[in-house]
Amino acid sequence: MDNSASSHVFVAPPRRRFGVRHLQAVLMGLVVFFAYSLRTNLSVAIVAMIAPGGNGTAAGEASGAARVFAWDESTRGALLGAFYWGYTVSMVPSGELAQRLGASRLLAAATVATSAASMLLPWSAEVGDWRAVFANRVVQGLAQAPVFPCVFTLLGLWAPPQQRVTFTTFVLAFQMLGPMVTSPLCGLMASVWGWPSIFYSFGLAGVATGGLLLLLGADRPSEHRWISAEELAFIESSLRAEQGPEGSAKVAYCAAAVLVAPVAPPTPWRSILTSVPVWMLWISLSVQDMAYFAFLANIPTYLDGVLNITVEENGWMTSITYLIGFIACHMFNALSNFVRDRGLLSLTNNRKFFNIVASAGISVCVVCMGYVSTQAATVTLISLSMSFQCATFVAVQANFLDVAPRYAGPLYSVGNMAASILGIVGPQAVGFVVTDTSNLSQWKTVFWGEAIILMVACVLYTCLASAEVQPWNDLELEQTKRRRPTATARAPATEKLLFPAHFSFPTATGFPREAEDVGAEKVTVDCQQHEPGPPGRPNKV
């Protein structure tokens, strides 16, 4: 068994149960909610946008309803995959921008831009037919690319190690809430007000969310205007405190934190590109997201073609599967924390175990979907598949923050770029294989292919993945610090002073040591000893 579990330090949380770090998690969750709502609303709306054979334009004008279009299955697949063309192109640059310019502000800008483009989609369809809709979706992809690199960058800065899985799962669970709310609402709005109302309403709500993030968010804890000294101490010291032998040493609990303006070291791409654990993360994330994106894009079409479910019923049934998935997210989080707290598995084996659960569970469910024909059985399998998808949140997705918390954003951007490429190919491949959406044998081919790819990636991850913090996570920072002159400055007189003049980091033995200088000011606080408990049993948060 490896000792990766001991690489995480557990310190006492503040007395206040809901803090600014929780507020940041809620804001990130809302952004993820609208990101997935705006990404997936077309998969429901397109059922109402396309006429069931015949002349779509004539049908729309004759009924007096919103215009519908005579697009074939190939065009449908192209439109569902168009988002990922823009998403892919700007993904890696977005990760670097999040690292250097400030993730919170970039996240807000991305949310507003995507929402504004969504509100223009009905106009695009009216004036330019499918080509303009395709271009609009590409622009939405370009605008939304920074979302997850920013989220993972912020999680690396705001989530203490002992709360990392919980924070990650909480934020990513909004991936389930987005489609869960979107599916029935889109079906209802398309039936009552016409399909354009889908894009207007969600776009407007997304703009409001971006504004809220600008008002209440911050790039890092030390920059937030309302964070308490106690909470700032908890976050900063938990990310920097040392751990004693066998992970059971006393950890100093500080009443205030380090206010350090961090150096932004260059991303160590050479080390990253030669890291086997990182490649396992990229491969696994790409394949799992491919399966998830294919599910998002094609399950409404599958329910409509194979089970003959109306667009409104389609929305509600899809919503139920996401509700079950949302519940499963928190169940897997609780189970992962239980395994960690009891010391049953090392952190690396914890991640591998839940990845096996996710990959095997999804594979079995999607294969079985090709051999059932009733609505109840199909919806049950879809719901189970979505539930197992949530196990990836405590496995591969949380693993990005394990191996390189400092560079989680850029790392995730590369994996997400690869997943986006498969997001382009996936709907197109399904459209190529499934020429008749009511043909179950064609869907079987799709389901078997997805299962095989998932299991191959699972085997690779199980053999080669790791949750150890990689040596290059801090190497570039150390090199950057050596290149900069060391200097200690007093805080400006006009700045609100939360601390005395000098800060010393707590150590495992309780004796303070000098804070490492990174070219910024240092401050001091008084610390008291806190006993975290037996090994592997962190304080409850």
- Ordered by where they begin, the domains of the chain are 7-220+265-464 (1.20.1250.20), 229-261+473-530 (no CATH)
Write out residues in the chain with pLDDT < 50, as ranges. Answer: 1-10, 54-64, 242-261, 480-481, 484-541
| The Cα angle at residue 165 between residues 525 and 266, in degrees rounded to 5 | 65
For the chain, report the end-to-end CA distance as a whole number of angstroms: 27
Instruction: Convert the pLDDT of each residue in 4-50 to its tens digit.
Output: 444 444 456 666 678 899 999 999 999 999 998 998 888 888 888 88
| pLDDT, position 252 | 32
**What's the burial of 495, exposed, middle or buried (CB within 10 Å: 0-12/13-18/19+)?**
exposed
Picking from 217, 239, 208, the residue whose alpha carbon sits closest to that of residue 150 is: 217
**Phi and psi, residue 527, nearest 5°:** -120, 150
Contacts with 482 (C-beta within 8 Å, 6 or more apart), sequence order? none
| 208-to-20, 106, 259, 329 alpha-carbon distances in Å | 20, 15, 31, 27
Cα 342 to chain center, whole Å?
A: 27
pTM over the 0.85 mark: no
User: Which helix H or strand E contains 251, and what residues bound it?
Assistant: strand 251-254
- Dig out the tokens for 112 from the structure: 């507003």
Residue type, 65: A
Q: Whose structure tokens read 């892919």?
A: 88
3 near 346, Cβ under 8 Å?
A: yes
DSSP structural state of residue 69: B
Continuous H helices in 241-374? 269-273, 276-307, 311-341, 347-369
User: Which helix H or strand E contains 464, and what residues bound it?
Assistant: helix 440-464
| pLDDT, position 372 | 83
| pLDDT, position 534 | 42
Contacts with 464 (C-beta within 8 Å, 6 or more apart), sequence order? 276, 277, 279, 280
- Dig out the tokens for 311 from the structure: 């667009």
Q: Whose structure tokens read 């503040």?
A: 14
| pLDDT, position 264 | 60
| The Cα angle at residue 21 between residues 109 and 389, in degrees rounded to 5 | 75
DSSP structural state of residue 228: -
Cα 59 to chain center, whole Å?
A: 40
- Dig out the tokens for 5 from the structure: 């579990």
Q: How many residues does the chain have?
A: 541
| pLDDT, position 482 | 52
Interatomic CA distance for residues 21 and 37, integer angstroms: 24
| pLDDT, position 345 | 92
Contacts with 14 (C-beta within 8 Å, 6 or more apart), sequence order? 228, 230, 231, 233, 234
- Dig out the tokens for 329 from the structure: 């997210």
User: Which helix H or strand E contains 528, and what residues bound it?
Assistant: strand 527-530
Cα 533 to chain center, whole Å?
A: 32
**Phi and psi, residue 519, nearest 5°:** 80, 30
Q: Helix count (H) and strand count (E) of the chain?
A: 20, 4
